[in-house]
Amino acid sequence: MPTADNRLEEILLHAFLDVINERKARGKMELVVTYENLTAYLAERTGLPLQTRHVQALVRAMAEGGLITIGGAGPGHPNRYDTTETQMGIDAFWNQVEAFLMVWRLPGRESLLPPGSEGK
């Protein structure tokens, strides 16, 4: 669990990108997963008490920020996730990730932080 609240988004975003890239390294074109399973994966990796709403907010913001693409078959079915790194180029993608992390804060982030850590 992060000790400083300003790293929460960074930890969560990088865990999600790692999951996508691990699938691609195994020969898959993209990550295919439900929100519920993605939440479980990210909670396990980060040690954060994530809820599906946290992951939905992250995914929405990353898509709006141009960091990922999303495809899916509708509610209750798995979504397909991929990064935009190939389309943007490595440098442009990681510059965009840095810019995103400078401005975005996860809604409900206080529920993921240890008591008394907000603002440290």
Helical spans, DSSP H, in 6-89: 8-25, 35-46, 52-64, 85-88
pLDDT averaged over every residue in the chain: 87
Q: What is the pLDDT of residues 18-60, one digit of tens each?
A: 999 999 999 888 888 889 999 999 999 999 999 999 999 999 9
What is the C-alpha separation between 17 and 25, in angstroms, rounded? 12
Q: Enter the pTM of the model.
A: 0.84
Query: Residue 93 corresponds to which tokens in the numbers above?
Result: 């993608």
Domain ranges of the chain: 5-103
Q: In CATH, what is the architecture of 5-103? A: Orthogonal Bundle (1.10)
